[in-house]
Amino acid sequence: MVSRHRRSVVSFAAAAAMLVLPAISARASSGPEISHFKLANGMEVVVIPDRRTPVVTHMVWYRVGAADEPPGKSGIAHFLEHLMFKGTEKNPAGRFSKVLATIGGQENAFTSSDYTGYFQRVTRDRLRMLMEFEADRMTGLKLTDEAVLPERNVVLEEQNSRVANSPSAKLGEEVQAALFLNHPYGRPVIGWRHEIEKLDRKDALDFYNRFYTPNNAILVVAGDVAADEVKALAEETYGKVAPRAEIGPRKRPQEPEQRSVRTVTFADPRVTLPSLQRSYLVPSAATAKTGESEALEVLSQILGSGTNSRLYAKLVIEKPMATSIGAWYQSSALDQTRFGVYGTPRTGITLKDLEDGIDSVIAEIAEKGVTNDELERAKIKLVADVVYAQDSQATMARWYGGALTTGLTVEHLKTWPDRVQKVTSDQVRDAAKTWLDKRRSVTGYLVKEHAKPQERRS
């Protein structure tokens, strides 16, 4: 029952990897001229010119994700993403995908806590056809129990293989649930299994009718096409879709002040190497004060990205305690987000020892800041990644879609490299001191078996 479509649940961590570098310098003369406008029905459009090859990347993003689900219906955002391939009155199930396959197109879809998106890549002459298909399923989705119930099994199987059968993913789910005491970011994007099992056709249609309306959607087109051309095509296709729901501000329950150090220990006989993963509650690009998110971005580079990072240098090379180690920052989120560190100890080193090692490395940055060399290296890396990324239509399109669905603007992305350049060593130190506070964190331990009381006492 595995679907033919390559669709994915974008976990927070995956989203971090995907969106951690959300910008292109306005000053880079080679940077594209982004167009951003609205259709009469409220649908936003972003056009990113890329004339190198006669192809286009086409994405429709909805401002809705797992954090917008009604309580008790976790997984419905992702389940609906699957069901969007079940056809409409006009285009029965499979036709859209079949046509794409015939013309050598690619397609994909993804769901995160904050957004859901649909992606295709085709030659430029097929853009109108693509838009007609996508606009059709924005309003005409037809769901029968015969289509919905087997697809629910597909999703349950996906939950099995991605989470239930992966001790590390299961621990990640528990850490996330323990980190967010009140905010729905604590909910897994794929959903809690016992709730997925009860999702039905009505749940999917209710969610679809409430959120899949043009005034809640963003079209992103990157490729060999001009903005006015996209505008004309969009008006003729998406522009014909009438809004069917009002969209208010996206208000989710926020976190109380966090003041407790938390741990989660998950034991599974399949664990061969113990490991630890910690998440801190930190500001996102959308919620941070000026410069704070950029400082966290630089901090995550210096602390835990690559073999030059502090964690790697100190705990893998200098004093070998870990076999793998790192840090990440999920900057793209509408509300408060996560900064993560993780590591796997070498044989003979306990999780506690490695954790103390990590704590010491963080404490040193929080106290003394970072060197100018580190600062410059991190900035060069971050900005270079932005420049290199212009090479990929899909990456560019995902940045803009991801930004606009998590409370940011096109302008924010354009000026991001400049703001990164301004980050100082003091700001990095302050970010570590303020935000990498264990009282705002959950540390997860993955072990083979739980310690027995008498063992722990020794």
Q: Which of residues 431-450 bind its own copies (CB under 8 A)?
A: 438-439, 450
CA distance 158 to 70: 22
Exposed (0-12), middle (13-18) or buried (19+): which is 186, by Cβ within 10 Å? Answer: middle
- 90 Cβ neighbours under 8 A, 6+ residues apart: 136, 140
Residue 70 beta carbon to its own copies: minimum distance, rounded to whole angstroms: 9
Contact pattern for its own copies over residues 361 through 390, marking x by CB under 8 A = --x---------------------------
Using CB under 8 A as the binding rule, whether residue 144 contacts its own copies is answered as: no
Structure tokens at 295: 């400082």
Compute how many other C-beta atoms are within 10 angstroms of the C-beta atom of residue 318: 10
Which residue in the set 1, 37, 72, 149 belongs to the binding site for its own copies (CB under 8 A)? 72
Query: In angstroms, what is the minimal distance from the CB of 261 to its own copies?
Result: 4
Residues 6+ apart with CB under 8 A from 106: 100, 119, 120, 121, 122
Known active-site residue 81: yes
Contact 57/221 with Cβ under 8 angstroms?
yes
Exposure letters 258-274 (e unless 16+ CB within 10 A, then b): beeebebebeeeebeeb
* Contact letters for its own copies, residues 223-262 (x by CB under 8 A): ----------------------------xxxx-xx-xxxx
Residue number, 88 or 443, with CB nearest to its own copies: 443
Q: Given 33, 44, 69, 81, which residue is catalytic?
A: 81
Among 161, 182, 371, 409, binds its own copies (CB under 8 A): 182
Q: What are phi and psi of 152, to 5 degrees?
A: -60, -35
DSSP-derived secondary structure letter, 8: E
Query: Where does 75-132 show beta strands of DSSP type E?
Result: 106-111, 116-123
Beta bridge partners of 35: 47
- Interaction of residue 114 with its own copies, rule CB under 8 A: no
Min CB(171)–its own copies separation in Å: 7
Smaller CB distance to its own copies: residue 32 or 186?
186
Can you tell me which residue has the tokens 């407790």?
260
Task: Give the per-residue contact string, 189-208, with its own copies (x = CB under 8 A; - = no).
Answer: ---xxxx-------------
Least distance between its own copies and beta carbon 353 (Å): 7
74 forms part of the interface with its own copies (CB under 8 A): yes
Which residues does the annotation mark as catalytic? 81
Which residues contact its own copies by CB under 8 A? 71-72, 74, 170-171, 174, 177-178, 181-182, 184, 186-187, 192-195, 251-254, 256-257, 259-267, 352-353, 355-356, 359-360, 363, 438-439, 450, 453-454, 456-457
